[in-house]
């Protein structure tokens, strides 16, 4: 018998067992092939979902609580080159309510919270897959499928909805001068479009737009950028500065930029090149009377990274000011002064012009040997409280708690010296410009950051404010000031630099040094390759194909054991 004859006879004799083995092989092959197909299909679906959601958007720049100039988009696009496109974008959280103007006070409409509100224009719209949906015009809104699903049949094209949002505040809410009231703004908008099944392109694209990879159906509302800026007072405008008797021009602002094209490194380099102090809410204030310039922030406090960026510049003076509720004579509390500015200075930095010296009491520099537990007061305060060198002053002031509460603290200082209210001591520039506070005529005109005891104000308080405004009445060492008043946002309210305010070239050099030295990532303004991150997230750390193959082998092994 030949070998082939033996093989045929064996197969024929054991045909039942061989048939079972053959069918098992076919089944196992089908299972494994199916596992590979399903695993690859899941990854492909996640990847397609991410790419459709972002459209042409490759990268994003944004800090949510920092608002850069809208014009930065065009400047960044020109700096990147290579056909890149940059679009400004506003991103805010809000709530929507059906009923439009008819729902005011009625509470009859359906409401949906946690809505991501995007302020957009044609530049952004052109980068997305929007299908037949037009870009919203001023006063209009386009709603996503997620919003429509919660509002149900109560919302459709042509109806009105009310959009509620919290007003952004340049000064952080958990600082002394930050707004603590939950100020909200609402606007009535006409529904221009609703993303739905009838427009599959928009449904996969702009209807799911999100800079963070997610498989959840997002709740989105697209509003005209112009409308959002005007409502939040972030539009281009001209405002009178009563403190410096001039008009200030404010550019239109956004809190995000999206980029199509280019590489992360190229965009990052272009951002460093084009970003200005104004984009970070910073300004170089010219103090001609005292011969220096001061770096200030619209957040009232300078971030430590910003102060560090100016570290190489010579001739500096750090300042940390705070609002004291009451300064009083420790021996005679009936003699007091309300709502006074107290400045923290580094004695060595105010020993010479243009920041010093502070003269008084027969001494040319009363700050030079100021102990950390003592205080220097100006002549006005000394006369007001009946204090001289060696007396004791009690300072009452607010601290900011971890939850924004304002506990009142007291500390008593020994009066180290009395400085004359002339020269460096008569300097309004020690206190940063704060709209609604430093530029008003009386205390009663203040935009009150907390409940103030206006009934306790004296005529002397009003007289001082009328003549000297926010000029500090007292000074402690910078070390003492930071121990009492530093916050998580920074340890200086201004950084003064010995630069001739009339020298445009010198001011430009200072500006360039600071702009080039700032670590943007620490300010939340780094370039985020969102498309790249999404692709990695879709791939996952464990391949789906391997996962399903593992399940398949488990099933095959279990079946083999059961058969055996």
Q: SS3 sequence, 347-383?
A: HHHHCCCCCCCCCECCECCCCCCCCCCEEEEEHHHHH
The pLDDT assigned to 431 comes to 95
Tokens coding 34:
């199916």
- Average pLDDT on 484-505 reads 93
Cβ-based neighbour number of residue 494 at 10 Å: 25
* Backbone phi, psi, residue 353, to 5°: -60, 150
**Is residue 71 predicted with pLDDT exceeding 70?**
yes
Rounded to whole angstroms, how far apart are CA atoms 524 and 271?
Answer: 13
Tokens coding 125:
């719209």
Q: 3-class DSSP state for residue 92?
A: strand
The pLDDT assigned to 287 comes to 95
Task: Tell me the residue length of the chain.
Answer: 564
Q: Return all residues near 5 (Cβ < 8 A) that are at least 6 apart.
A: none
Helix H or strand E encompassing 237: strand 237-241
**Is residue 274 predicted with pLDDT exceeding 70?**
yes
Cβ-based neighbour number of residue 334 at 10 Å: 6
Rounded to whole angstroms, how far apart are CA atoms 163 and 189?
Answer: 7
> Could you tell me if 549 and 32 are in contact, meaning their C-beta atoms sit under 8 angstroms apart?
yes
pLDDT single digits (tens) 275-327: 999 999 999 999 999 999 999 999 899 999 999 999 889 899 999 999 999 99
- Segments of 63-204 assigned E as strands: 68-69, 85-98, 111-120, 140-143, 160-166, 184-194
Q: Which of 211, 467, 458 is nearest to 326 (CA)?
A: 458
pLDDT band at residue 512 under the 50/70/90 scheme: very high
Cα distances from 75 to residues 179, 182, 187, 243, 466, in angstroms, run 33, 35, 31, 32, 43
The pLDDT assigned to 1 comes to 59
The pLDDT assigned to 87 comes to 97
Rounded to whole angstroms, how far apart are CA atoms 120 and 87?
Answer: 9
Rounded to whole angstroms, how far apart are CA atoms 73 and 53?
Answer: 21
Peptide bond before residue 528 is cis, with ω within 30 degrees of 0: no
Rounded to whole angstroms, how far apart are CA atoms 263 and 267?
Answer: 6
> Could you tell me if 474 and 340 are in contact, meaning their C-beta atoms sit under 8 angstroms apart?
yes
**Is residue 25 predicted with pLDDT exceeding 90?**
no
The pLDDT assigned to 22 comes to 65
pLDDT band at residue 563 under the 50/70/90 scheme: low
**Is residue 559 predicted with pLDDT exceeding 80?**
no
- Average pLDDT on 153-180 reads 80
Cα distances from 526 to residues 53, 489, 521, in angstroms, run 22, 18, 5
Rounded to whole angstroms, how far apart are CA atoms 542 and 545?
Answer: 9
The pLDDT assigned to 46 comes to 63
Give the chain's mean pLDDT.
86
The pLDDT assigned to 342 comes to 98
Q: Which of 269, 352, 273 is nearest to 315 (CA)?
A: 352
pLDDT single digits (tens) 189-240: 999 999 988 899 999 999 999 988 777 889 999 999 999 999 998 999 887 6
Q: Return all residues near 272 (Cβ < 8 A) that are at least 6 apart.
A: 515, 516, 520
The pLDDT assigned to 182 comes to 58
Tokens coding 298:
């619209």
Helix H or strand E encompassing 395: strand 392-398
> Could you tell me if 405 and 425 are in contact, meaning their C-beta atoms sit under 8 angstroms apart?
no
Tokens coding 230:
């005007």
Peptide bond before residue 354 is cis, with ω within 30 degrees of 0: yes
Rounded to whole angstroms, how far apart are CA atoms 327 and 337?
Answer: 5
> Could you tell me if 168 and 148 are in contact, meaning their C-beta atoms sit under 8 angstroms apart?
no
The burial class, CB within 10 Å (0-12 / 13-18 / 19+), for 486 is middle
Rounded to whole angstroms, how far apart are CA atoms 254 and 90?
Answer: 5
pLDDT single digits (tens) 98-127: 876 655 545 567 889 999 999 999 999 999
**Both ends of the chain: CA-CA distance in Å?**
33
- pTM, two decimal places: 0.83
Rounded to whole angstroms, how far apart are CA atoms 187 and 502?
Answer: 45
The pLDDT assigned to 29 comes to 63
Q: Return all residues near 96 (Cβ < 8 A) that are at least 6 apart.
A: 111, 112, 115, 143, 147, 151, 161, 162, 163, 164, 221
The pLDDT assigned to 205 comes to 92
The pLDDT assigned to 401 comes to 75
**Is residue 152 predicted with pLDDT exceeding 90?**
no
Cα distances from 294 to residues 243, 429, 474, 517, in angstroms, run 16, 8, 20, 17
- Average pLDDT on 23-52 reads 62
Of 214 and 545, the structure prediction assigns the larger pLDDT to 214
Q: 3-class DSSP state for residue 553?
A: helix
> Could you tell me if 397 and 324 are in contact, meaning their C-beta atoms sit under 8 angstroms apart?
yes
> Could you tell me if 488 and 305 are in contact, meaning their C-beta atoms sit under 8 angstroms apart?
no
Rounded to whole angstroms, how far apart are CA atoms 548 and 542?
Answer: 11
The pLDDT assigned to 283 comes to 93
Cα distances from 265 to residues 136, 517, 526, in angstroms, run 33, 17, 11
Rounded to whole angstroms, how far apart are CA atoms 342 and 57?
Answer: 49
pLDDT single digits (tens) 327-377: 999 999 999 999 999 999 999 999 999 999 999 888 889 999 999 999 999
Query: Which of these ranges, 230-244, 249-263, 422-436, 513-527, has the smallest mean pLDDT?
Result: 230-244
- Average pLDDT on 130-157 reads 90
Q: 3-class DSSP state for residue 107?
A: coil
The pLDDT assigned to 544 comes to 52
**Is residue 54 predicted with pLDDT exceeding 60?**
yes
């Amino acid at each position: 018998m030949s070998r082939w004859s033996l093989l045929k006879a064996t197969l024929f004799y054991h045909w039942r067992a061989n048939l079972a083995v053959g069918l098992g092989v076919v089944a196992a092959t089908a299972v494994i092939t199916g596992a590979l197909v399903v695993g690859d299909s899941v990854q492909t679906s996640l990847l397609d979902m991410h790419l459709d959601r972002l459209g042409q958007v490759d990268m994003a720049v944004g800090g949510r609580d920092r608002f850069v100039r809208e014009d930065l988009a065009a400047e960044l696009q020109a700096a990147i080159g290579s056909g890149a496109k940059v679009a400004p974008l506003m991103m805010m959280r809000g709530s929507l309510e059906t009923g439009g103007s008819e729902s005011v006070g009625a509470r009859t409409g359906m409401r949906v919270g946690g809505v991501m509100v995007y302020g957009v224009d044609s530049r952004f719209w052109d980068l997305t897959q929007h299908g037949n949906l037009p870009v919203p015009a001023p006063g209009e809104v386009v709603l996503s499928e997620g919003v429509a699903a919660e509002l149900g049949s109560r919302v459709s094209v042509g109806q009105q909805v009310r959009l509620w949002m919290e007003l952004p505040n340049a000064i952080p809410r958990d600082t002394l001068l930050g707004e603590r009231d939950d100020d909200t703004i609402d606007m009535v908008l006409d529904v221009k479009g609703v993303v739905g099944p009838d427009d599959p392109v928009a449904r996969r694209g702009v209807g799911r737009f999100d800079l963070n990879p997610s498989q959840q159906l997002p709740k989105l509302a697209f509003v005209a950028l112009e409308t959002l800026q005007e409502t939040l007072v972030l539009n281009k405008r001209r405002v009178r500065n009563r403190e410096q008797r001039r008009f200030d021009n404010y550019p239109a602002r956004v809190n995000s930029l999206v980029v199509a094209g280019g590489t992360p490194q190229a965009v990052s380099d272009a951002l460093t090149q084009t970003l200005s102090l104004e984009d970070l809410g910073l300004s170089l204030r010219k103090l001609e009377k005292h011969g220096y310039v001061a770096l200030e922030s619209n957040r009232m406090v300078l971030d430590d990274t910003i102060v560090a960026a100016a570290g190489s510049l010579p001739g500096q003076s750090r300042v940390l000011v705070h609002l004291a509720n009451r300064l009083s004579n420790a021996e005679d509390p009936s003699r007091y002064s309300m709502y006074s500015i107290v400045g923290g200075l580094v004695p060595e930095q105010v020993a010479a012009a243009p920041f010093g010296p502070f003269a008084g009491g027969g001494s040319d520099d009363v700050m030079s040997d100021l102990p950390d537990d003592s205080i220097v007061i100006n002549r006005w305060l000394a006369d007001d409280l009946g204090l001289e060198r060696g007396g004791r002053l009690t300072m009452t002031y607010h601290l900011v708690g971890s939850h924004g509460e304002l506990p009142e603290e007291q500390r008593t200082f020994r009066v180290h010296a009395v400085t004359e209210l002339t020269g460096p001591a008569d300097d309004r520039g020690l206190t940063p410009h704060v709209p609604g506070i430093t530029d008003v005529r009386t205390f009663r005109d203040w935009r009150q950051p907390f409940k103030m005891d206006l009934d306790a104000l004296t005529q002397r308080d009003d007289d001082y404010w009328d003549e000297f405004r926010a000029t500090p009445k007292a000074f402690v060492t910078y070390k003492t000031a930071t121990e009492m008043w530093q916050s998580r946002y920074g340890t200086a309210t201004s950084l003064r630099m010995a630069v001739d305010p009339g020298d445009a070239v010198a001011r430009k050099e200072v500006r360039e040094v600071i702009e080039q030295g700032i670590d943007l990532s620490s300010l939340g303004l780094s370039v985020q390759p969102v498309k790249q991150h999404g692709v990695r997230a879709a791939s996952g750390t464990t391949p789906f194909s391997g996962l399903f193959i593992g399940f398949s082998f488990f099933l095959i092994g279990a079946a083999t054991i059961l058969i055996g």
